[in-house]
Structure 1
């Protein structure tokens, strides 16, 4: 079966499962031509709904953490540190696995845009506002110039570079890595890198993926699986709309973990060092949601530096906003991220939802206070009312007799006194 993949963005072009691709053409695609065009720089048309960082409650979260001390590996197209939105950011030299001109160059444009989501800043009507502004970005370049049409060979090469990037992040003691790739299948070398990351405590975050207009409706779980998000140890993220509602085009897989806003994201446009735009104004993307989630994870890690990657994930999941306390669903996983809630959560093993890695099972809280005494039924409870009625009636009769006797006594005493006087 063949499908033509729309060149709407790299991550979208890597979504369709089990496909045969045409050979790469010389023509290249650009993230900026598609998701962040230069004509949006003036932002004359406001986006519909709230901006992504408002949905995440970033202003409130920054009262507790700004990501200081956390190094985020950005597995993408490199980062242009000269962009105006990144002038105040901390960006390391990183690593380049594309044999191009280094990780601090970005020909495709997505890496620079994503970096601005995480640590960027700008002024304007809809300013760029980094989710974890004091975190450090480490660009890990795994793609460079992207062909408009991609072959199976190109996808396998990309998966190989992704695996190399994960291993490099482990060797260089990064705190977490995030990728916007949603590959249609897993590969042995990628599986091995993810397993190693789990053993070494490196958190990996990836998009759960979505369908493009050219995709057939998936029929099985395998059809919907995207990698690396489908690996159990990877935090798989889907997107919600600015109002928090689920997005119809998102893939609903059993591996989905959590949801985050995926639209209306102010970010850098690499088409010009001074340009920025609102990405995904017309729809939400799980790619953006994954990057946003990485920013929140950095905030939580910075606030709790001694905690494991599993515990950071637990904080994000257990405090996520969902319809009921313990309900998981295929549309949003454990719910929509609550940044401040995740930072301030106190784990005592009693919260309803995913199990705590510190306890392994939900603990029923002990009763605090005075126990309610057990009430033993009285075997005479049915006859006692009649007894009390009888006693009351007897008392009334006795009282009446006493009154009558007293009256007679007074009368008799009075007559005797009259006789004595006479």
Structure 2
């Protein structure tokens, strides 16, 4: 295994399944400001599988993320996409100073932001989980995966830490970190601790290096951070999704549909794209239950996860369920410090609870029947003893005359 890099890498390291048109004209490429701009993509009208699973329209009457700011610290977010128009604030660019975070040469951050906050458009089934949320773009990388290898610039750990602090200072309620450092950096650790202390929900991808031995991912492994792994459409862990105590729960991360820079959509896989489903859920909760602290929001998301179909530490507490997170009261969860990096939860299987309740009711009925039968038997015995004696005494009291 190669030596872990101290530079943050976009967590979608698996091959992109891009739905592309022919290459853009040279003039269009030049005007984008990107040395290697993302390929144009076509509109995909079909309903993606995560929306079939989550049916976010059920949540809209309750919450859509309005009033909540989600910082996407990533490759930038293209605000010109029709489904992101009006949702993207002026942000910051730590890769090319002077920018506002809205240039995306990799397409990664735009896709992440769209999973959170893309609005509905006629003829398109895809939209974000919290379409009322505001996106605060913070650009830290333009890395892409070309033929299985990373290419492109990215900031160092110190600037990554500065980007986190900038987002918190500019009123982010939720941080989405679909980036991974494979080294514990003091500046990043301190920036994350500051965000947690200042009541920000921090969500991070756990990385895609399962086949490389699951190197410890940061910020996902830091205390107070929700570490998110990836599942496919069948609900099982994606083969690339890392396993370890830093996985708090899993969300869709295989063959995920998202917005592409400019217009249209693409499909990709990676824990990068699982994290924004959790960040979007956090935005819904921050709107619907504004009295909850960031730690309470995180515990509620973990406590409401559905049981995972597989076994092992790659699932954490289970599979994200946004509807349950918003509508149900959380069960008892232990504090994360009791088990190290993961946010633990002990939530019984609802089916098992139902079986236990049915068995308890059956036992109560059996005891009532047995009690009634016993009382009847005693009464019969008493009558069998008392009636003959009473008849012999002609029903006079027993005792001396």
TM-score, normalised to structure 1's length?
0.68
Asked if structure 1 preserves the Cα contact closer than 8 Å seen for 2:238 and 2:253, the reply is: no
- Residues in 2 aligned to 1:339 and 1:145: alpha-carbon distance in whole angstroms: 30
| 1:301 equivalenced with 2:298 (yes/no) | no
- Residues in 2 aligned to 1:188 and 1:228: alpha-carbon distance in whole angstroms: 11
The structural deviation recorded for 1:141 is 0.8
| 1:164 equivalenced with 2:162 (yes/no) | yes
Change in 2 beyond 3 A, CA 1:99/1:172: same
| 1:254 equivalenced with 2:245 (yes/no) | yes
- Residues in 2 aligned to 1:386 and 1:306: alpha-carbon distance in whole angstroms: 66
Which of residues 291, 301, 307 in structure 1 aligns to 2:276? 291
Which of residues 310, 315, 320 in structure 2 aligns to 1:337? 320
The structural deviation recorded for 1:84 is 2.3
The structural deviation recorded for 1:122 is 5.2
- Residues in 2 aligned to 1:191 and 1:55: alpha-carbon distance in whole angstroms: 35
Deviations 1:114-166 (A, max 9, x none): 22222223546653302111111110111136586569xx77x4332321111
Asked if structure 1 preserves the Cα contact closer than 8 Å seen for 2:112 and 2:258, the reply is: yes
Deviates further, 63-72 or 233-242: 233-242
Change in 2 beyond 3 A, CA 1:305/1:329: farther
- Residues in 2 aligned to 1:150 and 1:263: alpha-carbon distance in whole angstroms: 19
| 1:319 equivalenced with 2:317 (yes/no) | no
| 1:274 equivalenced with 2:272 (yes/no) | no
Change in 2 beyond 3 A, CA 1:124/1:245: farther
- Residues in 2 aligned to 1:396 and 1:323: alpha-carbon distance in whole angstroms: 73
Change in 2 beyond 3 A, CA 1:145/1:136: same
Within 5 Å, give how 1:24-173 maps onto structure 2: 32=38, 38=41, 41=42, 43=44, 51-87=49-85, 89-99=86-96, 102=99, 103-121=101-119, 123=121, 127-144=125-142, 157-173=155-171
Larger Rg: 1
Deviations 1:217-259 (A, max 9, x none): x2xxxx4421110112111011122232333332111121112
Which of residues 200, 204, 216 in structure 2 aligns to 1:225? 216
Asked if structure 2 preserves the Cα contact closer than 8 Å seen for 1:29 and 1:147, the reply is: no
Change in 2 beyond 3 A, CA 1:150/1:302: same
Change in 2 beyond 3 A, CA 1:340/1:91: same
- Residues in 2 aligned to 1:4 and 1:252: alpha-carbon distance in whole angstroms: 17
Change in 2 beyond 3 A, CA 1:248/1:356: closer
- Residues in 2 aligned to 1:297 and 1:320: alpha-carbon distance in whole angstroms: 13
Asked if structure 1 preserves the Cα contact closer than 8 Å seen for 2:70 and 2:173, the reply is: yes
User: What SS does the corresponding residue of 2:58 show, helix, strand or coil?
Assistant: helix
Structure 2: give runs of 5+ residues left out of the alignment: 15-33, 338-344, 347-363, 365-374, 396-401
1:2 is matched with 2
Deviations 1:13-62 (A, max 9, x none): 49xxxxxxxxxxxxx997946xxx73xx2659x79xx5213323311111
1:395 is matched with 390
TM-score, normalised to structure 2's length?
0.72
- Residues in 1 aligned to 2:115 and 2:37: alpha-carbon distance in whole angstroms: 15
Change in 2 beyond 3 A, CA 1:122/1:58: closer
User: What SS does the corresponding residue of 1:91 show, helix, strand or coil?
Assistant: coil
Asked if structure 2 preserves the Cα contact closer than 8 Å seen for 1:52 and 1:262, the reply is: no
Change in 2 beyond 3 A, CA 1:29/1:398: farther
Asked if structure 1 preserves the Cα contact closer than 8 Å seen for 2:10 and 2:272, the reply is: no
Number of equivalences? 335
1:189 is matched with 187
Asked if structure 2 preserves the Cα contact closer than 8 Å seen for 1:108 and 1:146, the reply is: yes
Structure 1: give runs of 5+ residues left out of the alignment: 15-27, 363-371, 373-380, 401-422
Change in 2 beyond 3 A, CA 1:249/1:392: farther
- Residues in 1 aligned to 2:335 and 2:182: alpha-carbon distance in whole angstroms: 30
- Residues in 1 aligned to 2:126 and 2:133: alpha-carbon distance in whole angstroms: 16
